[in-house]
Structure 1
């Protein structure tokens, strides 16, 4: 720790969903280790996720508890929630102005583009945090920057229209239906969409951007973003993951929340399996398999005769067919709710990972050396899957037809 960072105060503003919140908490942990003082904006419902850091850094980590604002009027639920966060502008200003040693910078999620205006108002620097990779962000920014021109290319709304990005390294191409559903819902003149788009464009005028990625993985895309920003204040600081330690319920196994099943029960089960013999299946904290998709998956698992760990949402657990557990017997370990994914992937028994290719899951699999079977469903997941399969060669496609299609059970088995 240098004297230049000691007692330097940073305001950290994450987005509440786990896929955005957890990696920014991981970054906060590193900031604290380097001696910075951090105040994190957080809601009461997410406070349990912050408590481990608070107990480890009681004097240098502080919380700014703010209630989740009521959604703003918008035809799109996500846009309504995101634009509503701007209601926190004045409460943060009031807190800042009353603080004896206010922060010198704000690090905020890339969806919170309005915090660029907040930082300007406060006279401090704003750094964008991207929980997505640099390739995904490059496409994301271009889509929102050029939304009107891009929509004009496909004025008849052809779902199979191929959109090219020739200026981005490797010249990615995506069919129209694989583009973000939120972006495809854009309505010109709608206050919510226009406000959100303004914030995304504001990201590019921020002081810098931090990506949860690393140079050997996405160096070309980091360089591309530097050219887009016109400066070098673009950093790849990932993977933002806990170091591999002995199993500790209060350590990485508790990252992101408490597991529904005691971790020791799972790891005792895994310890009995051969190296790289177990398939781990999880679709992240937001995606949920519907009844048809779950049937396809469980039929494949029953046919495969492989050992597996299946993590499902409570909301989707009812779609597990009756009698499936008895059918697979001791071959399967089923989680309902949150699972300690990073520790699972790091276990020597895990050989394959069926994943939706969310960026956190993708990074965790790559750094754990586990081959991925890709089943993307939305957002940046199709782009991540293409990176994994076509560029890195560390995965194989299971299904790339989106959430309205399912793979063949026999082929999956």
Structure 2
């Protein structure tokens, strides 16, 4: 039986579209290990109960969240728990510390052996897990194909080097349509110096991924899904 390992980012905007994915995969005869933490498991307890009642082959694996090692208080296991934005960097650094416990769990007596990791794109450290286990890694994006393409083009054409003003409109390059936004409107596409290293890790891991799962469907992204195949080659 194929064994899929799902590693979502611990924030509601990413976890909600991922919560039903284990059920969809397991319903097709796939064993699923859903990696989470104790507090985040409590947030999706209805999904966990529904999965267990279904009898489908799904494991909800709770790993202790190492937030204290990065200065986070006990129970701050989800980005939504953080009282201020300055702690986001601490949170992301703490997620990197999940690499070793996840590897130890997957290298244990897990049967069948994991066949692929489906990781949130914000977890670039899972690339090392996949390589150490010698299995493919697929990234999951909570964004649409259109947003992914805009993000890629803003980075590719170095928009941040020429647009410094937060409210200065600019046209997203590389699109057939003329889409005009400001840095303030697309702030997630401009990570800033604090997140520079993590953004670089995310980008490199995205290009190294064996595939991308997008929270969308083709009819709503006909142009963007075709456009995405060129930069990522899949």
Band the TM-score falls in, shorter-chain normalisation: 0.7 to 0.9
Gaps of 5+ in 2: 72-84
Q: Does the alignment pair 1:133 with 2:144?
A: yes
Determine helix, strand or coil for the equivalent of 2:226. Answer: helix
Go from structure 1 to structure 2 and tell me whether the alpha carbon gap of 1:163 and 1:121 turns closer, same or farther (over 3 Å shift).
Answer: farther
Q: 1:38 aligns with which of 28, 32, 40?
A: 32
Gaps of 5+ in 1: 1-6, 232-413
Matched residue, 2:232: 229
Over residues 306-329 of structure 1, what are the superposed CA-to-partner deviations in whole Å (9 max), with x where a residue is unaligned? Answer: xxxxxxxxxxxxxxxxxxxxxxxx
Cα RMSD for the two superposed structures? 2.3
TM-score (norm 2): 0.82
Q: Does the alignment pair 1:95 with 2:91?
A: no
CA contact (8 A) 1:10 1:36 kept: yes
Matched residue, 1:293: none
Over residues 101-137 of structure 1, what are the superposed CA-to-partner deviations in whole Å (9 max), with x where a residue is unaligned? Answer: 2210011112112212221221111111111111112
Over residues 222-271 of structure 1, what are the superposed CA-to-partner deviations in whole Å (9 max), with x where a residue is unaligned? Answer: 1111111113xxxxxxxxxxxxxxxxxxxxxxxxxxxxxxxxxxxxxxxx
Over residues 375-400 of structure 1, what are the superposed CA-to-partner deviations in whole Å (9 max), with x where a residue is unaligned? Answer: xxxxxxxxxxxxxxxxxxxxxxxxxx
Displacement of 1:13? 0.6
Matched residue, 1:197: 200
Go from structure 1 to structure 2 and tell me whether the alpha carbon gap of 1:168 and 1:84 turns closer, same or farther (over 3 Å shift).
Answer: farther
- Aligned equivalents of 1:85 and 1:57: distance in 2? 30
CA contact (8 A) 2:139 2:209 kept: yes
Matched residue, 1:110: 121
- Aligned equivalents of 1:83 and 1:9: distance in 2? 28
Matched residue, 2:82: none
TM-score (norm 1): 0.48
Q: 1:186 aligns with which of 188, 192, 195?
A: 192
Q: 2:169 aligns with which of 162, 166, 189?
A: 162
Determine helix, strand or coil for the equivalent of 2:97. Answer: helix
| Structure richer in helix, relative to its length | 2
Displacement of 1:169? 4.1
Go from structure 1 to structure 2 and tell me whether the alpha carbon gap of 1:170 and 1:78 turns closer, same or farther (over 3 Å shift).
Answer: farther
Go from structure 1 to structure 2 and tell me whether the alpha carbon gap of 1:141 and 1:53 turns closer, same or farther (over 3 Å shift).
Answer: farther
Go from structure 1 to structure 2 and tell me whether the alpha carbon gap of 1:216 and 1:66 turns closer, same or farther (over 3 Å shift).
Answer: same
CA contact (8 A) 1:127 1:208 kept: yes
Between Structure 1 and Structure 2, whose CA radius of gyration is higher? 1
Displacement of 1:177? 1.9
